[in-house]
């Protein structure tokens, strides 16, 4: 689901993975002794376990197979598999069976949810001349998948039905400032059809803002300036969107809360559920959008509004008119989550996941992530057969109905929330895992250095350099953000952004308070959510040799193993504390600009004091854990420190949730109300400040202060446990 920037031959796993692989048992007391002179080089590991971990990770890295990943992706893309269909169920059953063949315990969890499908779709230009639009995507010679009649037509899930005829107004990207610009140009959107191009924010945000300003319908289109021929050759000559390509997608207001209950299906859009839109919406190709834009008049658009279609853009309204008729079908259907488990020695969980449902074939989104996750499972299964057991249980999850609004992962997280609070260490997400050669991602600040560590130790398959060095070369020319100076080694930390929304980490991180990350290897990608995101596209452009699928399996597997095997999880709360203080300074500046210069309007001094305490406790925890890891491991002490540290992220949740959208509970980061995908930092306070809702800003500031104080106390608990003598005295005291 996550939108990136312009970005059946299955061999038995046992035969491929076992092939003579044998090495000593590595679980429990049978772990090898450290090599002479071995040092605790790995974050979160004592010297004894660091040496063993390096050896087992080397064996893991040898296991992922490019040919097997290619065969997996070919199988996953054999047929369209939209959530709620038999094809999606068969995909889930295939994944369950593959996880079992790899040696993991795997089951399917089912949920009943409301899903939305197209019935009748009709769009016609009625003035100045009649022309049928909403034309289907054109087949590509040599790529038979693009002619598959089973593909669902382009539509916006959860659009209500409707029948409207109105003049058209062009609203650029549909951002708040774009709608304000229309007002300044004297253009009234009331009673009009808004023509809006994809990009810059989540499609549901565009619809909600158009709805707010009185539009009677929305037409979404992909402009060639953003992901078409203006960027490069369109498919099949290149990786970019052809003129008939259509971006399907849900327009559910997931930035308020994700999910749709079966009780809402009888009449979506009637106000029964606040996260459902109320005006009919349809995505179209730029080929069809050009047939409307060519006849729009009114003022010429600002230069930054001019897209890539070969016409001068005008804002309207009219004189072009369009007739849109939608008959949508909404109903309760069953979705299928696949949960595979590799049991560990303790009750803690390390989780990784990706969704398996796709709008059509989904080679990149989500098939690349699914193929990578299966390679991780097969490699871990091979280690298990060789005698290795992880210290912590590893869960590999394939979610359903992510494309409709994170439904499968949200349902599972809500069902298992208490278990996650007691057991979860971290969640790793891989949605669109492979598009090309550029590694990057987003993460909770406490996990960013772990991602960098693993990137340093993994080779880029084309250059032979470390993934980290290639990443650094690509980013070193970028301007240094305020407060982002060199690290202790003299290097500038490589950027990993904050987590917004748009993929399955959202429920784990922003609702349940589990430290999370989302990683990928990106590239040029213009076929997002279209029929052209198929196996042939991946084979021609995304990853022809499937070497980057192997690289992503190596990176993600190493991350999981570090989290699963460390004496304590390899968190870095020093970076977290620094980030909080930097963002708080920025929030202070924003509040003053918005009119809160008087502390009686908004006083953030209490939050500043809590942030300073959080930073102090992070330094104390880091020193105490470093000292603990210099000593021999002690299971009781390690468990006490682990539970305290895992509780830091949960402590940053607001019990009452954010104002106006209580499902989102994290005080550090949430999807922007007017962005949808991108993250807003310190969201409770910032959103209230930007609304000039000063009573809410005060409440949210107090909630943030309390969250930081709770997090600081968890760090204090961890430091105290780390300094405690080995043995029973180190029993964990913290109840999360």
Q: Which residues are catalytic?
A: 402
Query: How big is the chain, counted in residues?
Result: 736
- State in Å, rounded, how far the first CA of the chain is from the last one: 32
Secondary structure of residue 398 in the 3-state scheme? strand
CA distance 386 to 25: 7
CA distance 598 to 366: 49
Using CB atoms within 10 Å of the CB of residue 232, give its burial: 0 to 12 exposed, 13 to 18 middle, 19+ buried: middle
Contact indicator for 430, 369 with CB cutoff of 8 Å: yes
Using CA of residue 365, residue 366, residue 371, residue 376, what is the dihedral sign?
A: positive
Alpha helices in 45-199 (DSSP H): 47-61, 66-76, 86-101, 176-184
- SS3 string, 108-119, reads EEEEEEEEEEEE
CA distance 278 to 485: 47
DSSP string of 328-397, one letter each residue: EEEEEEEEEEEEEEE--SSS-EEEEEEE---SS--IIIIIHHHHHHHHHHHHHHHHHHTT---SSEEEEE
Contact indicator for 509, 536 with CB cutoff of 8 Å: no
DSSP string of 34-53, one letter each residue: PPTT----STT--HHHHHHH
Contact indicator for 20, 5 with CB cutoff of 8 Å: no
Question: Tokens representing 12?
Answer: 């038995």
Contact indicator for 65, 16 with CB cutoff of 8 Å: yes
Q: How many CB atoms lie within 10 A of CB 655?
A: 9
Report the C-alpha dihedral over residues 55, 638, 412, 373, rounded to 10 degrees. Answer: -10
User: Going by C-beta distance under 8 Å and a sequence separation of 6 or more, which residues neighbour residue 114?
Assistant: 260, 261, 262, 263, 264, 265, 268, 330, 331, 332
Q: Show the CA angle centred on residue 104, arms to residues 633 and 31, nearest 5°.
A: 25
């Amino acid at each position: 689901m996550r939108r990136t920037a312009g970005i059946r031959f299955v061999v038995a796993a046992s035969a491929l993975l076992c092939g003579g692989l044998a090495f000593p048992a590595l679980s429990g007391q049978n772990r090898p002794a450290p090599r002479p002179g071995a040092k605790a080089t790995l974050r979160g590991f004592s010297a004894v376990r660091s040496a063993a971990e390096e050896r087992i990770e080397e064996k893991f890295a040898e296991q992922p197979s490019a040919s097997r990943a290619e065969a997996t992706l070919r199988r996953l893309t054999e047929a369209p598999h939209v959530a709620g269909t038999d094809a999606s169920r068969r995909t889930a059953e295939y994944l369950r069976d593959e996880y079992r063949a790899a040696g993991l315990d795997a089951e399917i969890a089912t949920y009943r949810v409301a899903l939305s499908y197209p019935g009748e779709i009709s769009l016609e230009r009625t003035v100045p001349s009649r022309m049928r639009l909403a034309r289907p995507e054109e087949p590509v010679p040599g790529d038979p998948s693009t002619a598959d009649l089973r593909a669902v037509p382009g539509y916006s899930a959860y659009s209500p039905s409707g029948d409207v005829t109105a003049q058209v107004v062009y609203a650029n990207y549909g951002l708040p400032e774009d709608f304000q610009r229309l007002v300044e140009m004297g253009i009234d959107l009331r009673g009009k059809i808004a023509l809006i191009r994809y990009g810059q924010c989540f499609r549901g945000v565009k619809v909600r803002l158009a709805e707010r300003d009185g539009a009677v319908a929305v037409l979404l289109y992909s402009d060639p300036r953003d992901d078409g021929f203006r960027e490069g050759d369109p498919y099949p000559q290149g990786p970019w969107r052809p003129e008939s390509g259509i971006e399907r997608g849900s327009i559910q207001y997931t930035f308020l809360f994700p999910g749709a209950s079966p009780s809402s299906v009888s009449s979506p859009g009637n106000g029964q559920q606040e996260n459902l839109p109320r005006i009919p919406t349809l995505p179209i190709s730029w080929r069809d959008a050009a047939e409307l834009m060519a006849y729009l008049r009114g003022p010429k658009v600002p230069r930054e509004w001019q897209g890539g279609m070969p016409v001068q853009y005008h804002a309207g309204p009219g004189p072009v008119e369009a007739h849109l008729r939608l008959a949508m079908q909404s109903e309760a259907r069953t979705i299928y989550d696949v949960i595979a488990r590799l049991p560990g020695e303790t009750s803690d969980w390390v989780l990784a996941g990706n969704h398996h449902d796709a709008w059509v074939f989904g080679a990149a989104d989500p098939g690349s992530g699914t193929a990578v996750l299966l390679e991780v499972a097969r490699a871990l299964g091979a280690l298990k057969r060789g005698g290795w057991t992880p210290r912590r249980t590893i869960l590999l999850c394939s979610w359903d109905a992510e494309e409709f609004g994170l439904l499968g992962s949200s349902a599972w997280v809500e069902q298992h929330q208490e278990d996650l609070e007691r057991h979860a260490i971290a969640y790793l997400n891989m949605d669109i895992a492979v598009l090309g050669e550029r590694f990057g991602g987003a993460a909770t600040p406490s996990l960013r250095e772990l991602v960098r560590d693993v990137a340093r130790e993994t080779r880029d398959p084309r250059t032979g350099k470390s993934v980290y060095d290639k990443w650094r070369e690509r980013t070193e020319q970028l301007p240094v953000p305020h407060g982002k100076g060199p690290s202790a080694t003299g290097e500038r930390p490589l950027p990993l952004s904050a987590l917004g929304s748009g993929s399955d980490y959202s429920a784990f991180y922003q609702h349940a308070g589990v430290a999370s990350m989302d990683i990928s290897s990106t590239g040029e990608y213009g076929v997002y959510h279209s029929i052209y995101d198929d196996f042939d596209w991946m084979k021609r452009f995304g990853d022809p040799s499937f070497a980057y699928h192997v690289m992503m399996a190596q990176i993600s597997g190493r991350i999981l193993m570090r989290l699963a095997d460390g004496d304590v999880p390899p968190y870095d709360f020093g970076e977290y504390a620094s980030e909080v203080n930097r963002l708080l300074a920025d929030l202070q500046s924003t509040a003053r600009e918005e009119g809160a210069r008087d502390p009686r309007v908004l006083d953030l001094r209490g939050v500043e004091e809590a942030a300073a305490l959080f930073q102090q406790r992070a330094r104390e925890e880091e020193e105490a854990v470093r000292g603990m890891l210099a000593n021999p491991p002690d299971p009781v002490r390690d468990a006490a420190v682990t539970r305290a540290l895992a509780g830091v992220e949960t402590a940053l949740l607001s019990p009452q949730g954010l104002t106006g959208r209580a499902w989102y509970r994290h005080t550090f980061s949430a999807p922007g109300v007017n962005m949808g995908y991108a993250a807003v930092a310190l969201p409770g306070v910032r959103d209230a400040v930007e609304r000039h809702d000063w009573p809410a800003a005060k409440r949210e500031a107090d909630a943030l202060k309390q969250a930081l104080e709770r997090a600081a106390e968890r760090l204090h608990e961890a430091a105290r446990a780390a300094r405690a003598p080995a043995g029973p005295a180190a029993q964990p005291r913290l109840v999360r």
